[in-house]
Structure 1
């Protein structure tokens, strides 16, 4: 039935649930036997995913590929924009840094090249896959940007994809946002919308029925489904706005308190997801010194602008508070940019991340970091010695820093790879360039049980595999979405658009269709 057939999911705003719906559809179509690929032409995100060939794409597309049971490639997200400041971003093309650009310059000078890159990527996917689920970004009704946008209706027209518009009822005003978005679309684009989906619904759907009937009568479009809020999913979020929903305060019902510092330019915060899955761990994101308290573990996550985030630590008072906690014996882990902050100084003489050039670190580890011109992106694997035990450690690296650690007897490497070492262990501090360390079940269990023993609690043995929980989450999400969407109607529209496209192509070539 499908032959390179697209379906596009757009939303009324960011965090409407587009990524989750695309993830669900990738799993649904894959379970039906279709070779399925996700596609997001241009993604703005600080959460990255490393492909098997060591390239960098948006994490959501990597996760969606996993849900579809296929290997992620850069064609699934050919352009990745990683903000480094209020008006600057690093532009990543096919998994490698292209250049740092201002928003206005990118919009003016990159559009034609970007469109060419996107078109070529999509054509390759179309040849290889039976079904392509496309994700938009933000809203298609951003009228100030639509003349040169590369991710919403421009892509729907390029791929001749039918569009489903997703609205988030949890934020309120869902009918207003859906109707308003539709009215701001060009007529050609409005005709491409085959229906809408209301997402994250809680409660009795019968109370929503009058609104659904009104919407369909007013717009002439069907409501293709009302998807209930699905809690407890272990699927990575992409947009950092999700962090606003996380707690800042300690949860007294959980035995372990883990505080993650929320930098202004936090990246790859999905590193923490496996800790959220542990029933005895309360993970909270902290932005102020007075919020930190006395946690059992402090984590400094990745950063897209290490020097700016270091300055944030010092100016907010968090730096002094963290140093005091470490002296009192609190465990501290720094990952990637957070690892760089643990040293004596960070130097960015080439201004690859910011114009600050140099800044003092937390001075907790005898090491220095210099930002290089080339970014390292690689899947990594090595052996870790922790608490007298050996663990296989798998992860990925995305960094432009080169860190030199002083040769001292009390400083041990974190991971030993075949040709090098990574990171450090010194007392109650761990620093590493490895992302994904908590996704390693054996190490995570040992670490969490170490925190438990430190508090006089008994260890919990044979904790659940996080990968197994993710797979179960993919299936549970797919089950919920498929049971609440008019899948037959959606597939009919996909085939209808494909048939019309084939007819237009044939007529353009003078063929009889």
Structure 2
């Protein structure tokens, strides 16, 4: 069985996912066979991964896909055995070891955690059978002691699997000394003993100015410091895990093409836009609720959604449907991805009430297509070709629903002999089920030429790999990686 170490945080969005990815790359560069693991993730950013022992594919959190990339291995569903995909403020779809297990309300989910711990431990054991090291990422914070009794994401897992914990604090949000000392104060003794040290993350400026802070933390907690990580600018070159980061993402101040993306209430797989954001002459603007879509956008992209019908209504309430119609009338281009593709059609039929009340809703009417919601979920990798741009397209599908209509006679891509997507008669509106469309470099290059943008041969995957290498180098400089990896057991 592999050795393991776990990173937990004093709260959400403290940078655990990036640190785990960076440490996975550190271990790989040292010649270790390493795997990422997150017992429970809550995210609508999902990726396709293999289900061990089968030819099927399942879903994991996109962050674990990135961490697998950092390890140099193909992702499997064992890397994230429990994935919660929010569908509303009260309920979510539950994905266990890659496969959807229906929807649960938050209170009902809490009662199911006992059985899910068995799945978590099974995946953890299987993942560690043929590797040197497993680096585990917690979720939220162990300080949420009201959830401790049935916890499978933090100390509930760590104590059961006997995995030592490094506690991460985010100094950028302020109060990091209190956050670490407070966590020490409220944990029970068994949980407290699991913690072998701390990491301070997202420090800006002269790190030596925090020497007294480190001494105070050690005095209050008795935990050693593994180091202080500076603000990692390279993290902006990696796919974000949470939509809370979207409004904070920087874009070029001047660009040849502005891309507007409405931030749907259940936005999913928004890292589909990352390859466009990485282009120096492209500005991607994620437009939050309460703001109108910019009139000077050359392209509007309607992203994926975990709840297409609910987000279609949300889009209308924000006035975005009017903005999209005006953009179309003025000759602008529109692309819909997955749920956004379904919204572009004339109707969405949900006779079984999969997404809520059974019935038919009117779409935006910009593509001559209709979608029928069905319970079977398509989860698969895609190798295709774009007829329009004569370019290869690779990506993945994760969706329910089957779409058809006259505009499907002009597909966005051919997956073997199977057409995918639809293009309007004038070519200015298109939609597809393929996530990762813009990561395909040749396709992206030829697509952007329609807007007068030359990409200069940017290889998006190489940019991500370089960012992982740069982050690993920073962690080697600022953390005691020898001690941290030695703490694994």
In which range does the TM-score fall when normalised by the shorter chain? over 0.9
Contact 1:84 1:90 in 2 (8 A): yes
Report Cα offsets for 1:94-127 as digits up to 9, x if no partner.
Answer: 111111111111111x122201111111111121
Aligned to 2:379: 377
Question: Whole-Å Cα distance in 1 between the matches of residues 293 and 368 of structure 2?
Answer: 28
Aligned to 2:218: 216
Matched residue SS, 2:449: helix
Query: How many Å apart are 1:251 and its aligned residue?
Result: 5.8
Contact 1:6 1:159 in 2 (8 A): no
Matched residue SS, 2:57: coil
Question: Whole-Å Cα distance in 2 between the matches of residues 473 and 80 of structure 1?
Answer: 26
Q: Give 1:102's match in structure 2, choosing from 105, 111, 117.
A: 105
Contact 1:289 1:321 in 2 (8 A): no
Q: Give 1:171's match in structure 2, choosing from 170, 173, 177.
A: 173
Contact 2:260 2:300 in 1 (8 A): yes
The number of aligned residues is: 480
Aligned to 1:227: 229
Aligned to 2:59: 56
Aligned to 1:152: 154
- Say whether 1:23 aligns with 2:17: no
Contact 1:372 1:400 in 2 (8 A): yes
Change (3 A) 1:473 1:252: closer
Matched residue SS, 1:483: helix
Structure 2 stretches lacking a partner, 5+ long? 51-55
Aligned to 1:436: 436
Question: Where do 1:31-50 residues align within 5 Å?
Answer: 31-50=29-48
Aligned to 1:283: 284
Question: Whole-Å Cα distance in 1 between the matches of residues 132 and 394 of structure 2?
Answer: 32
Structure 1 runs (4+) deviating above 6 angstroms are none
Aligned to 2:460: 466
Aligned to 1:510: none
Question: Where do 1:89-488 residues align within 5 Å?
Answer: 89-108=92-111, 110-233=112-235, 234-246=237-249, 252-286=253-287, 287-288=289-290, 290-355=292-357, 357-386=359-388, 389-406=389-406, 412-426=410-424, 427-452=427-452, 459-460=453-454, 462-488=456-482
Contact 2:399 2:433 in 1 (8 A): yes
Matched residue SS, 1:191: helix
Question: Whole-Å Cα distance in 1 between the matches of residues 21 and 407 of structure 2?
Answer: 46
Change (3 A) 1:232 1:435: same
Question: Whole-Å Cα distance in 1 between the matches of residues 332 and 157 of structure 2?
Answer: 50
Contact 2:167 2:199 in 1 (8 A): yes
Change (3 A) 1:324 1:98: same
Matched residue SS, 2:215: helix
Question: Whole-Å Cα distance in 1 between the matches of residues 217 and 207 of structure 2?
Answer: 15
The root-mean-square deviation of aligned C-alpha atoms, in Å, is 1.6
Query: How many Å apart are 1:449 and its aligned residue?
Result: 2.3
Change (3 A) 1:364 1:182: same
Report Cα offsets for 1:59-93 as digits up to 9, x if no partner.
Answer: 11111111001121111111111111111111111
Report Cα offsets for 1:206-229 as digits up to 9, x if no partner.
Answer: 221221122222222122111111
Report Cα offsets for 1:193-217 as digits up to 9, x if no partner.
Answer: 1111111111111221221122222
Structure 1 stretches lacking a partner, 5+ long? 453-458, 499-513
Question: Whole-Å Cα distance in 1 between the matches of residues 444 and 307 of structure 2?
Answer: 27
Contact 2:252 2:280 in 1 (8 A): no
Contact 1:377 1:396 in 2 (8 A): yes
Contact 1:294 1:325 in 2 (8 A): no
Question: Whole-Å Cα distance in 1 between the matches of residues 377 and 262 of structure 2?
Answer: 24
Matched residue SS, 1:55: strand
Query: How many Å apart are 1:407 and its aligned residue?
Result: 6.1
Using the TM superposition, name which of 423-432 and 483-492 deviates more.
Answer: 483-492
Contact 1:111 1:150 in 2 (8 A): yes
Query: How many Å apart are 1:356 and its aligned residue?
Result: 6.2
Question: Whole-Å Cα distance in 1 between the matches of residues 356 and 415 of structure 2?
Answer: 31
Report Cα offsets for 1:329-370 as digits up to 9, x if no partner.
Answer: 111110000000000111222222233643211000111111
Q: Name the TM-score, length of structure 1 as normaliser.
A: 0.91
Contact 1:310 1:361 in 2 (8 A): yes
Contact 1:28 1:482 in 2 (8 A): yes
Question: Whole-Å Cα distance in 2 between the matches of residues 291 and 376 of structure 1?
Answer: 31
Question: Whole-Å Cα distance in 1 between the matches of residues 253 and 384 of structure 2?
Answer: 37
Question: Whole-Å Cα distance in 1 between the matches of residues 227 and 274 of structure 2?
Answer: 29
Question: Whole-Å Cα distance in 2 between the matches of residues 296 and 209 of structure 1?
Answer: 49
Query: How many Å apart are 1:493 and its aligned residue?
Result: 2.1
Change (3 A) 1:293 1:176: farther
Contact 1:348 1:356 in 2 (8 A): yes
Aligned to 2:53: none
Using the TM superposition, name which of 306-315 and 47-56 deviates more.
Answer: 47-56
Q: Name the TM-score, length of structure 2 as normaliser.
A: 0.95
Using the TM superposition, name which of 287-296 and 25-34 deviates more.
Answer: 287-296
Contact 1:84 1:354 in 2 (8 A): no
Contact 1:47 1:58 in 2 (8 A): yes
